[in-house]
Chains A and B, each alone.
Chain A
Amino acid sequence: MNRNVKDTIVEGITGVSVLLIIFIIVSILAVTIVGGWPNLNWTFLSEFPKDGMTKGGIFPAIVGTAMMTIIMAVAAVPFGVITAIYLAEYASEKSVIAKTIRFAVKTLAVVPSIIFGLFGLGFFIGFIGKNMDGLLNGGELKWGQPNILWASFTMALLTLPVVIVSVEEAIRTIPREMREASLALGATKWQTIRRVVLPGSVSGILTGTILAVSRGAGEVAPILFTGAAYFLSDLPRSLSDQFMSLGYHIYIMSTQSSNVDATLPIQFATTLVLLLLTFSLNAVAVTLRYRIRKRAK
């Protein structure tokens, strides 16, 4: 075949691929916005579902998602930051422990989310929760069942790699001169980390947190067995309560509803809320990360 013809074909294929991707993204956005925007109003955001979930709003799902992601962040961020400090500051690159942790973090990042859900069910509910009940409540069932705490912890495991990677990247952008300046003044390693390295890594820690929150807000599989509820007439009042979540709400509205067609506007509007939430969180994270990378140069 003529080389020029080949060239044209390759250019054509790549061009079509790009167009296809743009088309998909635009259609998702267009369909969601067209279907969801008319139903998006204050009542929808502030009311409980009504009439067998065919009417009303998604207030408890918004609150549930927010609570779950906050608890998740409180669990995942400190743990992730500590791990990142170890990897960046203490572990030697060649040490077996560091290699093992890195391997574990990479593996954790590619484990399908449903596996996290099953793990949460088996570990948090079946093992920790059940034993807590045995020790604290004389066997009465309280922690050994799905609730917002176990769901948040399960989600924290899923988002941990995101936090670790972001924070480690930020820590590594702190120039060696800064560490040397601190050490040369007689600071210990920990004083250097606490007073120089961590303050300089704040934006990385923030990026990691926001990426984790935006990922956790949208995921459904990890909370499926560990705490998400079909419908609740009240907001969660304690860590041992179940909760409603936006992602799960979309799933049940489109598969379990008594009247799927009637709930279509609700589905669209819920999807739009979830998309807006995760998009804006991601936008903030990308901006922050851009600023870190600029500083690193």
Chain B
Amino acid sequence: MNDFKVKVKDLSLRYGTNSALKNISMDIPEKKVTAFIGPSGCGKSTFLRTLNRMNDLIDNVTIDGEVYIDNINIYDKNIDVVNLRKKVGMIFQKSNPFAKSVYDNIAFGPRINGISQKSRLDEIVEFSLKQAAIWDEVKDRLFNSALSLSGGQQQRICIARTLAVNPEIILMDEPASALDPISTGKIEELIHELKKQYTIIIVTHNMQQAARTSDFTAFFYMGDLVEMNRTEVIFSNPGKKQTEDYISGRFG
């Protein structure tokens, strides 16, 4: 294993007095897909949201420990959260395009970063939509509302929107859980393409999805990281009984 993009050291998170993550330590490799699996409420989504400090938005959350991205602790006092989130993009469970046109959705990120030149924006929009494999479907309706698209298309618009900011890491929180099998397949193909350039971390409920898309898999249970290994090892020869029980469908 060469480089780790993300290194987490002893991360704990509490909602009030309720402990949601307990001393998580984990290294996430660059330009690979890492999947987080585990039963509902095991902390996998919460953990994902600590990686771009999305949990900062929630009142009453206490976080201890360190998260290094490119060897910089993102919980350091001097960290600019806005810059962090440009570098660490996020795709949400429910696709959430803005009530704006497809074009304005994609151009949102570049615009807030001060790009206003039309030709430059056109270029970014086209490039991002192509990268998200949805250009051919929307190129003739760039100025229609993004909300007029199907659920699967909306989710790929959200992916394109994230790519337009030029992130290095993309966090995906159950990105296909609300989609039909065909749309899910498209998202999975896309993940496969994107990992050439981006470090991808995906939370999923779907065992097959984790097995199909990821290089590494981490199993969470009750706020603990039970184990993490190469995906084929986790699914064929897990080190812990709990993991085996979960992936073989005995609970969760």
Residues on A close to B: CB < 8 A? Answer: 92, 175, 177-188, 191, 195-196, 199-200
Contacts A185-B89, A191-B112 given; indicate if A178 touches B54 (C-beta within 8 A). Answer: no
Contact B98 A186 (CB under 8 A): no
- Which B residues are in CB contact (< 8 Å) with A177? 92, 94, 96
Interface set, chain B 54-71, CB cutoff 8 A to A: 54, 57, 59
Q: B108 an interface residue at 8 Å Cβ cutoff?
A: yes
With A and B bound together, what is the CA distance between A185 and B82 in angstroms?
8
* Residues of B13-61 contacting chain A, CB below 8 A: 52, 54, 57, 59
Chain A residues whose C-beta falls within 8 Å of the C-beta of B156 in the assembled complex = none
Sample 20 A-B pairs with CB under 8 A, ordered by A number. Answer: A175-B96, A177-B92, A180-B92, A180-B96, A181-B92, A181-B96, A182-B108, A183-B57, A184-B54, A185-B85, A185-B86, A185-B162, A185-B165, A186-B83, A186-B109, A186-B165, A195-B112, A196-B98, A199-B99, A199-B100
Q: Please tell me the number of chain B residues within 8 Å of chain A, measured between CB atoms.
A: 25
Any chain A CB within 8 A of the CB of B113?
yes
Known: A181-B161, A184-B52. 9 other contacts (CB 8 A): A177-B96, A180-B90, A182-B98, A182-B108, A184-B90, A184-B162, A185-B162, A186-B82, A188-B82
* Cross-chain pair count, CB within 8 angstroms: 61
Q: Is B158 close to A, CB under 8 A?
A: yes
State the CA gap A157–B158 with chains docked (Å).
43
From A183, A187, A191, A199, B54 is in contact (CB under 8 Å) with A183
Interface of A is mostly: helix
**For residues 131 through 174 of chain B, which have their beta carbon under 8 Å from a beta carbon of chain A?**
158, 161-162, 165
Asked whether, in the complex, the Cβ of A180 is within 8 Å of the Cβ of B85, the reply is no
A245 to chain B, nearest CB (A): 40
Please give me the residue from chain B that is nearest to A187 by CB atom: B112
**Bound form: Cα–Cα A120–B94 in Å:** 51
Q: Which residues of B contact A185 (CB under 8 A)?
A: 85-86, 89, 108-109, 112, 161-162, 165
CB distance from B83 to the nearest CB of A (A): 7
Q: Looking at the assembled complex, report how far the CB atom of A291 sits from the nearest CB atom of chain B, in whole angstroms.
A: 13
List 9 A-B pairs, minimum CB-CB distance, nearest first. Answer: A186-B86, A177-B96, A184-B90, A185-B109, A181-B96, A186-B85, A187-B112, A191-B112, A186-B82
Chain A residues with Cβ under 8 A from B165's Cβ?
Answer: 185-186
Q: Which residues of B are found within 8 Å of A182, using beta-carbon distances?
A: 98, 108
Distance in angstroms from A201 CB to nearest chain B CB is: 11
Residues of A within 8 A of B108 (CB): 182, 185, 187, 195
